[in-house]
């Protein structure tokens, strides 16, 4: 029996636990909008809406030109997507094939005619390496009745500016993009594929969409073999995850999503797959997240490490090592191909998500000073020196490279910066940045001890102690809780991480008071803001989702576990129907906002689930 003949488990919108649990929390259902699924393979990705329409797909890599860009409303109406239009469609449903990145969409028409669309990007072992081409495979299968469909393949190029020229072969069509050629090969007749002519779907139709290379076998055979191999890859990858006993499907889906956000070519982990989905309705807070923030990537690596998916760490450390040897100064964000300058521009040919622009390409954050970056790099690499499962463990050479980050952290630990929230209009000595500088020195001391470099261990330990003393002197309010920057009265959600980073014990009264203060002052409509004070663009309107997961972990750490579990269930209820999260949530509208899928949010979900779950020994 093939993998596709098994009845798949739905991995969608649910608040049910898989272990001992009480009643789930009630929240307004998430509305339509970012009801998107993601497929990918480490080279490319695509976002597919609930009707099976590919609405976002960049080539030749994550940060490339979106050949399908209807998510951001191109000015050329009726283009920028690839869909299967079922005549008289009345219903749709969607799920992932269990523990994989293979997405299945089922469309039903009036009268009961039904069509199934299966989408994936090939990823499997071939010739002792991982095969992950710039390719999307799509099968359209009749399930019942006499469905009439139209295949509408409508690519654009130049960020939606132009309809590409096309040429034809016997069973393929080629689209002249900038700067490459996209080929669609199919066993459907070309007028149906290129012109979108409606036809009776009386057999399976397959489409292979990718680079301009001749397919040396039938599309049906290529699809079938690649599907079996790709499912086998994902099932094997998921099998070795060290998952919690509760919320297993939730964690597996989040882990697969994080894996899809790592660019195989260099090891970079992007913050999200999209650009310019606003943080809130009608705001200019629209940013391009298709790049690697070492801070975000470090958290992704640590989350995957906690699930025993350590290969991502090794690949990311390779990426960050390429950056670290270039210069003593590190930027807050880099391109996936090691670009250290990401000039920002607006693309006028795209109106934006729901028409809310501007649409930005590039990110001006590369110019900012964000002092936490050095601690993030060291933190991401620390397990490399301790985990005996790894074939290539860190040694003295790798340690000496990391010391450059420590030197920078020491110099900058009490200097003003833009902070992790990337404020564009002001700088302060942010508590989180100073603590992450402490992390750099503290973890270097640990690594030096593991490597029996006694003098270096003492050297970095002394520096760590001096930074910690300074933070405790300048970042604790007279009321006994931490504040967001030295000498400030303000709070921000990053303070919830101080115990997780081991800067302070969870039972320390200063941390307990901080958790209480953050919950009291930053909660709006039942969800947490990242900060409440106005910034360069006014006061924040939506809840920053990862901060809510930090709050869950903090509640559990200070002993309020039942409250933490209830809050966690409320957060699970705002995931989209496929179990994915964006960056922000509007509790008043019940809508997800911000770039998608957001690695930060998926990391927070994984960490919170692991921290709250019952132990395996308690239930099996």
CATH classification at residue 435: 1.50.10.10
Domain presence at residue 6: no
- The domain tally of the chain equals 2
Range of 324's domain? 240-614
Quick check: is 342 in a domain?
yes
The closest alpha carbon to 344, from 390, 291, 392, belongs to: 291
First to last CA, the chain: 29
The answer to whether position 186 is within a domain reads: yes
Pair (227, 301) in one structural domain: no
Whether residues 228 and 330 fall in one domain: no
272 and 405 together in one domain = yes
- Same domain membership, residue 43 and residue 192: yes
Q: Are residues 342 and 227 in the same domain?
A: no
Residue 376 lies in a domain: yes
Give the model's pLDDT for residue 325.
61
Point out the domain boundary residue: 211, 236, 261: 236
The pTM of this model reads 0.92
What is the per-residue pLDDT for 539? Answer: 77
The answer to whether residues 88 and 184 belong to one domain is: yes
pLDDT in tens, 161-214: 999 999 988 889 999 998 899 999 999 988 888 888 999 999 999 999 999 999
User: For residues 522 and 493, is the Cβ–Cβ distance under 8 A?
Assistant: yes
Q: Are residues 277 and 136 in the same domain?
A: no
329 with 198, same domain: the answer is no
> What is the bridge-based pairing of β-strands 124-126 and 148-154?
unpaired
Q: Which of 180, 205, 236 is the last residue of a domain?
A: 236
CA distance 78 to 69: 11
pLDDT in the model for residue 423: 76
Residue 18 included in any domain: no
Half-sphere exposure of 581 (CA within 13 A, CB side): 31
User: For residue 178, what pLDDT is reported?
Assistant: 87
Whether 188 and 278 map to the same domain: the answer is: no
Strand ranges for 69-113 from DSSP E: 81-86, 89-96, 103-109
- Domain annotation covers residue 303: yes
In a domain, 313, yes or no: yes
H-only helix segments in 382-503:
396-412, 431-450, 454-474
Name the stretches of the chain with pLDDT < 70.
Answer: 1-33, 324-328, 424-425
- C-alpha torsion angle, residues 57, 169, 222, 253 (rounded to 10): 10
Residue 13 lies in a domain: no
- Look at residue 393 in the predicted model and tell me its pLDDT: 86
Q: Quote the tokens at residue 70.
A: 């209807």
pLDDT of residue 533: 83
Residues 225 and 332 placed together within one structural domain of the fold: no
pLDDT of residue 316: 85
Q: Mark whether 101 and 78 lie in a shared domain.
A: yes
Question: Which of 236, 254, 286 delimits the end of a domain?
Answer: 236
Same domain? For 340 and 408 the reply is yes
């Amino acid at each position: 029996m093939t993998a596709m003949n098994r009845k798949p488990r739905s991995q969608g919108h649910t608040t049910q636990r898989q272990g001992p649990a009480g009643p789930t929390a009630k929240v307004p259902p998430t509305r339509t909008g970012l009801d998107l699924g993601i497929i990918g393979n480490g080279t490319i990705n695509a976002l597919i809406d609930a009707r099976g329409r590919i609405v976002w797909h960049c080539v030749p890599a994550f940060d490339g030109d979106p050949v399908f860009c209807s998510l951001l409303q191109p000015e050329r109406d009726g283009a920028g997507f690839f869909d299967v239009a079922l005549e008289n469609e009345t219903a749709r449903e969607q799920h992932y094939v269990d523990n994989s990145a293979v997405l299945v969409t089922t469309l039903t028409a009036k009268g009961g005619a039904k069509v199934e669309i299966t989408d994936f990007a090939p990823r499997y072992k071939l010739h002792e390496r991982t095969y992950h081409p710039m390719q999307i495979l799509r099968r359209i299968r009749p399930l019942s009745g006499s469905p009439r469909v139209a295949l509408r393949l409508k690519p654009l190029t130049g960020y939606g500016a132009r309809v590409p020229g096309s040429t034809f072969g016997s069973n393929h069509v080629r689209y002249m993009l900038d700067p490459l050629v996209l080929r669609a090969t199919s066993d459907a007749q070309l007028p149906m594929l290129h012109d979108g002519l409606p036809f009776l779907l009386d057999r399976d139709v397959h489409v292979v969409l990718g680079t301009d290379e001749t397919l040396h076998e039938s599309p049906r055979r290529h699809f079938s073999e690649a599907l079996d191999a790709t499912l086998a890859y994902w099932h094997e990858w998921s099998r070795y995850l060290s998952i919690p006993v509760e919320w297993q499907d939730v964690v597996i889906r989040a882990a697969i999503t994080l894996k899809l956000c790592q660019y195989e070519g260099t090891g970079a982990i992007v913050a999200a797959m999209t650009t310019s989905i606003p943080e809130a309705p009608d705001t200019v807070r629209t940013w391009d997240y298709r790049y690697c923030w070492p801070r975000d990537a470090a958290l992704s690596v640590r989350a995957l490490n906690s699930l025993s998916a350590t290969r991502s760490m090794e690949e990311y450390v390779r990426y960050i090592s390429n950056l670290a040897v270039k210069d003593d100064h590190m930027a807050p964000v880099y391109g996936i191909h090691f670009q250290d300058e990401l000039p920002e521009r607006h693309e006028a040919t795209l109106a934006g998500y729901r028409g809310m622009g501007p649409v930005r390409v590039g990110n001006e954050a590369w110019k900012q000073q964000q002092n936490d970056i050095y601690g993030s790099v060291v933190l991401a690499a620390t397990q490399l020196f301790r985990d005996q499962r790894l074939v290539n463990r860190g040694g003295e050479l790798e340690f000496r490279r990391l010391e450059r980050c420590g030197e920078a952290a020491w110099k900058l630990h009490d200097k003003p910066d833009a902070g992790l929230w990337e404020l564009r209009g002001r700088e302060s000595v942010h508590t989180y940045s100073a603590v992450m500088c402490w992390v750099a020195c503290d973890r270097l001391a640990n690594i030096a001890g593991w490597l029996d470099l006694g003098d270096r261990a003492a050297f970095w330990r002394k520096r760590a102690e001096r930074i910690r003393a300074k933070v405790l002197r300048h970042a604790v309010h007279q009321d006994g809780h931490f504040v967001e920057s030295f000498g400030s009265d303000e709070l921000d959600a990053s303070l919830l991480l101080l115990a997780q980073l081991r800067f302070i014990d969870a039972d320390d009264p200063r941390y307990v008071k901080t958790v209480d203060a953050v919950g009291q002052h930053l909660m709006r409509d039942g969800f947490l803001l990242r900060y409440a004070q106005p910034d360069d663009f006014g006061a924040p309107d939506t809840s920053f989702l990862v901060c809510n997961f930090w709050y869950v972990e903090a509640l559990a750490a200070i002993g309020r576990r039942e409250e933490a579990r209830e809050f966690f269930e409320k957060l699970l209820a705002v995931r989209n129907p496929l179990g994915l999260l964006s960056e922000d949530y509007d509790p008043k509208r019940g809508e997800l906002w911000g770039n998608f899928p957001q690695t930060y949010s998926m990391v927070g979900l994984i960490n919170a689930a692991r921290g709250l779950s019952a132990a395996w020994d308690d239930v099996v």
